[in-house]
Structure 1
Amino acid sequence: MIKKEALKNLLTPIYLKQPFQLKNFYLWLTLSLFLILRLIWSAYFPMANDEVYYWDWSRHIQLSYIDAPPFVSWISYLGGLLFQGSFGARFFLPFLHLFSSIFILLSSKTIAEINQKNFTNENALCALILFQLAPVFNLEGIILLPDASLLFAISGALYFILKAFLISNKNQTSLSIKYGFFFGIFLGIAALSKYHALPIAVGFFLASLILRGVRNSFHDFSFWFVTAIAAVVVSSPVFIWNYLNNYASFHFQSQHGFSGFSFHYKPFLKYIFGTIFYLLPWFFIPLFYFSIKGILKKSYYKSINLLTTIPFLILFTIILSSALGKQALPHWTMPGFLLLIPSFVLIWNPLTGKNRSTWIRLFKVTLFLSVVIPSILCFPKFNLLLIKGYTFVKGNADDLFQAYAWIDLQKQLLNQENIEIKSAPYYETIESQNCTNQYQIASLKWYWAAQLAFHFENKPRVYNFDFVNTSFYSWRDKLYDLANCKFIIIGSRDHYNKNDILKIMNIEETKEFNISPYNGENIIFIRGTMKDKFTLKEIYDNKIKEVKY
């Protein structure tokens, strides 16, 4: 009865203005409910192209990869040891999101302590709303991307550097080596997750240099030395792999920056509107305004908020500038917006301010968008109804191909085109069988190879016959190992270059068709035998030299 009464009064100004306690019942209830919900989503939410690609990495564990650092594949591998399918691949992501939530709350509380202010229930609730309900942060708790572990790492790093500042201010000492060690570990995990860790780490250092001044920063040498050592040791697999592979990943990532830069306004507008959509306008505008307004104040350069704002501005500026001439994805800047949350919620009072009723309505809309819609998409019957409805209105479901076609593609190939593809388990590789008798499977693009591998029976090894664009498969699959093997290629007609395939294969059969209701997606089916080892090795060596980073 007491709990029911407390729940009824949860949003009253009196309760919201009370000091927040970490043992708060409603905090752990909310976190537990969202953890359970995300575990359910992990099992049933459709797997996107990038997700199955990273999942395929986890079946070939390395120190690092051409596209990104290795942490995403490691956690997918560990999850796969416990459970099958998408649930195993994503299993640890909801837990990383849970710990990220806790670090965000602790960081907010620490900033309040440094500023000698109360950290209230409203502050805590606002932090939870932003991190649990903003669409991009919400879904990064289940989508198998490097961002999940990056958010965990930078939220932990933020907490430990803030803790170092808190102790230093209280005791009038240099920054503690102990917190420098943990700060470095989390920066190392960030570097194992995504290369965004570098501008964020630089932002932390610059903000600290401004806040501490040159003299105090000199006395903080031990803190930064320990931080650097810990970060380098933890992230060393990335450096070792790059050293052994001619720094291929560093070259590849450099192409996402300003290489080949040419001004175009369309990528820039897509990036801006995408960022607004990912965060929702009513979250994006206050967060962005907060960062700009603060940095324009002279007094702000003595504020602990610099530790959250400077990393955000550096990351945002780099990606925004890149978007003026190249494609930049909206979620690339989201780690920076995450760092703003602990500072922002301390001055944001949506539940006790004059616009309280408006914000409550917006929170309800956000709850629907971020909880109800993903939950509905977990039901196969709803997805089937969605496909049928889309087909009825438009005449086809081409726009839904990337989300749904893979799930029963193998079955539909048999039912609609009488094409039977037998897929052997992944570890029954070329080396362990006579490949002149058993057809292997290949495709023409990285995401086709990954999706077929994930959704075909037995989750087979699917080769990628794209010898122009760099991907993980360029390193995994040596073309000359496939000499004289029989292959079936299934892929998009848009990715098919007949001359390239004729160089590596003697084609026996070619067929083009569509799978209903995806009538606009032209699929090509090729059956043939690979050429001799000498020919394939010459082609592979030449292609690997010309590969596009």
Structure 2
Amino acid sequence: MQDATRAQLTFLILWTVVTAIKILIAARLPLFVDEAFYWQEGRHLAAAYSDLPGLTAWMTRLGTELGGQHVLALRGPFLLLAALLPWLIAHIGSRWFGEAAGWRAGSLALLMPLAGSLGVLALPDVPMAFATVLCLDAGARLLREIDAASAAELALGLTIGALSHYRFIGVIGVGVVALLLLPQGRKVLRDPRIWVALAVGIAAWAPLIAWNLENSDAGLRFQLVDRHPWSFQAAGLWFLVVQAALVTPLLFFALMQVFVRSFRNDQGMPAQWRYFGLLGGVSTVGFFALGFFADVERVSFHWPLPGYLPLLIAVPALMREWPRGWRIATWLSSGAGLLIVLAYYLVLSTPQWRERFAAEKYYPANFAGWDALAAAVRQEQARLPAGTRLLANSFKSGAELGFALGDPRIPVLDHPLNHKHGRAPQLALWGLTSDGSRDTPVLLVVGSGDVQFKSLLEYYQLLCKQVGPLPAPRVVNVDHGHQRFLLFALPAERPAGACTLPAFAWIDTPESEAGASGRFQISGWAFKDGAGLEGVDILLDGAPVARAHYGTPSPGTAAYWKVSTDPNHPNVGFRAEVDVTSVAAGRHWLGLRLHGSDGSVEDWAEQPIEVR
């Protein structure tokens, strides 16, 4: 009794603290790109969409209808479901492994980083995880006794899952396999009430099936064919390493041990243990194998979560056999893992802290700069002629600006990202795909980071073909230009003439994060197709500190950018000397201001240097 009371108190404290922290973060964290598009889908209510079934969009609509146009309101329904999940896991664990083990299973669900951070973002993984737990609870109860209440719970879980994500098909398949491997499970599958529940669950897929039938299987092709290479990739090994890190190593070992024990022919082992172990283990191993052949470009670390949850329920019962030191280490390492994940989100939600990631490989561009962009767009709209329409270059800018400006109908140009993320068919259905033609003034918003740098010049040339010659842009640099937007005020009539494109530049020396002292040399190259550059200023922390000598030979630049039309090639190099003798020691930001021959002025992205 005392053990159960302590376990319950621990759970209640953890649940309260973790939930409060998640609400705080969710209220401050900028909207992730996918969340913004789900909001846009929610403003165009439908039974299903090109990328997902309908539930995620419906939940974002519910949140904003109840709480207003705020990120916390949008995430509210997801936070609620995520907060209920540990209670449900604790309830299931208590039923099969004792009250103390149940509360500890709920606590582990709070501390495991993948499960504990659920709800901070409005993503389909939240209702999908909730549906998974409902189904496994119903399945475990049916193994003991087949009744109408358990069958109804199964039908509810299957319905929520079908409305959450295509990946839930895998959960269903694994669940059927787990039942077939158990004698009690095969008995369950012979009961007509279970087939009624399955029929209800199958019917819930009807909207998604209908959408695909009406749209040439565009959603299915994206989820099952287009986004996956379906060839072996050694990078799948990193998937396993990342999973062990995100679950935390000792807890990951415990989950795998639950799976291994489910194969034991132990008469004293309850059927529910074997059910949880087989359901979770087969799903997890399946996703591990899929990691070697499926999409590795987009985020996929959250895929195995539905497999971890059944395994997690049996972990406290398993850990009773472990030495006390290993149990403590498991709890502490899981808690530390959750703190790291939540701290990362907290850093992303604080602009001053997020800025420190600006020059890093893993800079969180999908979370950054949307407020600054929206403010710049409002300023431009205020000075442009009445009736000027807004046009975005990709679904990212269109959805994020849509949420910030309260406009879910911002048209979007055809862009590779729209197809890469499966959003192009949906944009076309809404009539929001623009071919670039216009009969009124347009403010075009371009995210330069939407295309890899090596392909950016060709993309600008394509953009010029879509909308015509590009005027000098207003540059919005966020986090020292590592999130960068260009705003083009396009006239109603498409002017004739050759294209003038945004400027390009690169600092060859010093390298990013290099040390500097006294007087040091800076060199690189810069060009601007269609007009050329007439000068380059060197900036330190945003202020000019030197005028570069521009026009030195740089034949390698023209050789690399083969399609460049800058009239100054090959003399597009620059060099300058910068004096930092009076600059305080520490990190500073080195940048460029590019002066075009057409009168344009563009600030390039900055890079850090360490002044000694």
- TM-score band by shorter chain is 0.7 to 0.9
Q: Distance in 2 between matches of 1:350 and 1:399?
A: 43
**Map of 1:450 onto structure 2:** 399
**Map of 1:249 onto structure 2:** 219
Establish whether residue 406 from structure 1 lines up as the match of residue 370 from structure 2: yes
In structure 2, do the counterparts of structure 1 residues 50 and 277 end up closer, same or farther at CA, with 3 Å as the change threshold?
farther
Establish whether residue 528 from structure 1 lines up as the match of residue 490 from structure 2: yes
What SS does the corresponding residue of 2:369 show, helix, strand or coil?
Answer: helix
Paired letter, 1:104:
I
Establish whether residue 290 from structure 1 lines up as the match of residue 261 from structure 2: no
1:161-196 superposed Cα distances (whole Å, 9 cap, x missing partner): 212222x2xxxxxx2243212201211101111122
TM-score (ref. length: structure 2):
0.68
Paired letter, 1:386:
W
Q: Which has the larger radius of gyration?
A: 2
**Map of 1:278 onto structure 2:** 246
In structure 2, do the counterparts of structure 1 residues 322 and 278 end up closer, same or farther at CA, with 3 Å as the change threshold?
same
User: Which residue, 85, 88, 95 being the options, matches 2:73?
Assistant: 88
Question: Is the 1:351–1:360 Cα contact (8 Å) retained in structure 2?
Answer: no
1:223-270 superposed Cα distances (whole Å, 9 cap, x missing partner): 32111222133443323333333332222211267x54232212x133
Establish whether residue 208 from structure 1 lines up as the match of residue 179 from structure 2: yes
In structure 2, do the counterparts of structure 1 residues 390 and 275 end up closer, same or farther at CA, with 3 Å as the change threshold?
closer
In structure 2, do the counterparts of structure 1 residues 17 and 350 end up closer, same or farther at CA, with 3 Å as the change threshold?
farther
1:455-504 superposed Cα distances (whole Å, 9 cap, x missing partner): 3x445633221355140323323547975344322223353634544554
In structure 2, do the counterparts of structure 1 residues 502 and 206 end up closer, same or farther at CA, with 3 Å as the change threshold?
same
In structure 2, do the counterparts of structure 1 residues 69 and 485 end up closer, same or farther at CA, with 3 Å as the change threshold?
farther
Where do residues 493-532 of structure 1 align in structure 2 (5 Å cutoff)? 493=448, 495=451, 497-498=459-460, 500-502=462-464, 504-507=466-469, 509-511=471-473, 513=475, 515=477, 517-521=479-483, 523-528=485-490
RMSD (Å) for aligned C-alpha atoms = 3.6
Question: Is the 2:348–2:364 Cα contact (8 Å) retained in structure 1?
Answer: no
Establish whether residue 344 from structure 1 lines up as the match of residue 315 from structure 2: yes
Shift in Å, 1:78 = 0.4
**Map of 2:521 onto structure 1:** none
In structure 2, do the counterparts of structure 1 residues 177 and 19 end up closer, same or farther at CA, with 3 Å as the change threshold?
farther
User: Which residue, 444, 448, 451 being the options, matches 1:489?
Assistant: 444
Question: Is the 2:90–2:104 Cα contact (8 Å) retained in structure 1?
Answer: no
What SS does the corresponding residue of 2:160 show, helix, strand or coil?
Answer: helix
Higher relative contact order, chain-length normalized (CA < 8 Å, sep 6+) = 1
Q: Distance in 1 between matches of 2:361 and 2:382?
A: 27
In structure 2, do the counterparts of structure 1 residues 516 and 362 end up closer, same or farther at CA, with 3 Å as the change threshold?
closer
User: Which residue, 230, 252, 255 being the options, matches 1:261?
Assistant: 230
Where do residues 388-407 of structure 1 align in structure 2 (5 Å cutoff)? 389=356, 399-407=363-371
Shift in Å, 1:422 = 5.1
In structure 2, do the counterparts of structure 1 residues 461 and 315 end up closer, same or farther at CA, with 3 Å as the change threshold?
same
Give the number of aligned pairs. Answer: 475
Bigger helix share: 1
Question: Is the 1:136–1:279 Cα contact (8 Å) retained in structure 2?
Answer: yes
**Map of 2:202 onto structure 1:** 232
Establish whether residue 100 from structure 1 lines up as the match of residue 66 from structure 2: no
In structure 2, do the counterparts of structure 1 residues 372 and 199 end up closer, same or farther at CA, with 3 Å as the change threshold?
closer
Q: Distance in 1 between matches of 2:111 and 2:483?
A: 35
In structure 2, do the counterparts of structure 1 residues 59 and 145 end up closer, same or farther at CA, with 3 Å as the change threshold?
same
Gaps of 5+ in 1: 1-13, 113-118, 169-174, 425-435, 533-549
Establish whether residue 464 from structure 1 lines up as the match of residue 449 from structure 2: no
Q: Distance in 1 between matches of 2:108 and 2:11?
A: 14
User: Which residue, 132, 136, 144 being the options, matches 2:110?
Assistant: 132
In structure 2, do the counterparts of structure 1 residues 17 and 60 end up closer, same or farther at CA, with 3 Å as the change threshold?
closer
**Map of 2:2 onto structure 1:** 15
Q: Distance in 2 between matches of 1:322 and 1:423?
A: 52
In structure 2, do the counterparts of structure 1 residues 49 and 281 end up closer, same or farther at CA, with 3 Å as the change threshold?
farther
What SS does the corresponding residue of 1:399 show, helix, strand or coil?
Answer: coil
What SS does the corresponding residue of 1:491 show, helix, strand or coil?
Answer: strand
Paired letter, 1:461:
R
What SS does the corresponding residue of 2:48 show, helix, strand or coil?
Answer: coil
Question: Is the 2:231–2:293 Cα contact (8 Å) retained in structure 1?
Answer: yes
Establish whether residue 420 from structure 1 lines up as the match of residue 389 from structure 2: no
TM-score (ref. length: structure 1):
0.76
**Map of 2:132 onto structure 1:** 154
What SS does the corresponding residue of 1:420 show, helix, strand or coil?
Answer: helix
What SS does the corresponding residue of 2:65 show, helix, strand or coil?
Answer: helix
Shift in Å, 1:27 = 4.6
Shift in Å, 1:217 = 4.9
1:399-427 superposed Cα distances (whole Å, 9 cap, x missing partner): 2443332222233578xxxx724599xxx
Range 157-166 or range 231-240, more displaced: 231-240
Establish whether residue 385 from structure 1 lines up as the match of residue 352 from structure 2: yes
Question: Is the 2:372–2:478 Cα contact (8 Å) retained in structure 1?
Answer: no
Q: Distance in 2 between matches of 1:371 and 1:189?
A: 27
What SS does the corresponding residue of 1:515 show, helix, strand or coil?
Answer: strand
**Map of 1:73 onto structure 2:** 57
Q: Distance in 2 between matches of 1:31 and 1:320?
A: 30
Shift in Å, 1:67 = 1.0
Where do residues 181-200 of structure 1 align in structure 2 (5 Å cutoff)? 181-200=152-171
